[in-house]
Amino acid sequence: MIVSRSVLVLALVLGAGMGVTTACHSDGEEPVSEAEIAIPPGIETLPLEVVVADRLNVRAGPGAEHPIVGKLSRGNEVRVLETQDGWKRIRPDAGGLEGWVAGEFLQPPKPH
Q: Which residues contact 18 (CB under 8 A, 6 or more apart)?
A: none
Query: What digits encode the pLDDT tens for the residues 8-61?
Result: 444 444 443 333 323 333 445 444 444 444 555 555 668 899 999 999 999 999
- Yes or no: say if 79 and 46 are a contact pair by the CB < 8 Å rule: yes
Mean pLDDT of the chain: 74
- Amino acid in the structure at residue 1: M
Judged by average pLDDT, the poorest of 36-45, 49-58, 81-90, 102-111 is: 36-45
The model's pTM: 0.61
In this structure, are strands 99-102 and 106-107 parallel, antiparallel, or unpaired? Answer: unpaired
pLDDT of residue 110: 86
Q: Give the domains, in start order, of the chain with CATH numbers.
A: 42-107 (2.30.30.40)
- Integer CA distances (angstroms), 47 to 53, 63, 96, in order: 18, 21, 17
